[in-house]
Amino acid sequence: MQDSPIYTSWQGARTRCNNPGHHNYPYYGGRGIKVCERWQHFKNFLEDMGPSYKPGLTLDRIDVNGDYDPDNCRWATMTEQNRNKQKTLRYKGKTLKEWAKEIGMDYPTLRSRIVVHGWSWEKALKSPVNTYLYNGKTLTQWSQELGISKNTIVSRMREGWSPERALNTPVNHKGPKERS
């Protein structure tokens, strides 16, 4: 079974936890994460985790600060794994990205409110987004229509550019040129 995904997952967990030379050791063994005694033998790991394995899933620790053991591990999709990272911001059981989608706010705006500006979750989720309208369109709409990032347009306007100039000057690495 050495070429099977189940064996590879078992061996990977053990390597991350036990081998100080492994590039991910600082995030696992270096933080005190261990593989339980029972799972030191592949047959036990296979007995515990094999029946629930499905192709495409990877081994995931439910509590990212807990050990690899039968009560703390599951097979998960990459999406599930990405939600279950140590650095993932959560509030009331939902990730920052889930909140952004639920309230209809773009993720960078919500993240900036909490991480950069230090807003409380309540304020960040409930405060309306300042929507700048120019000729009946939002900056997001102008950005999509013109192929200029919203951040570029906002930066230009903060530098004192008029809306007409900010929207009509294409992004050019050799210097700005006015659109005709």
The pLDDT value given to residue 131: 64
So where are the chain's domains? 5-83, 90-126, 133-168
Strand, helix or coil for residue 43: helix
Higher pLDDT pick, 64 / 7: 7
Which amino acid is located at 129 in the chain? V
Which amino acid is located at 8 in the chain? T
* pLDDT tens digits for range 124-137: 888 877 666 677 77
The pLDDT value given to residue 174: 55
pTM higher than the cut 0.75:
no
* pLDDT tens digits for range 23-60: 888 889 998 999 999 999 999 999 999 999 999 999 99
The pLDDT value given to residue 179: 52
C-alpha 89/C-alpha 130 separation (Å) is 23
The pLDDT value given to residue 173: 55
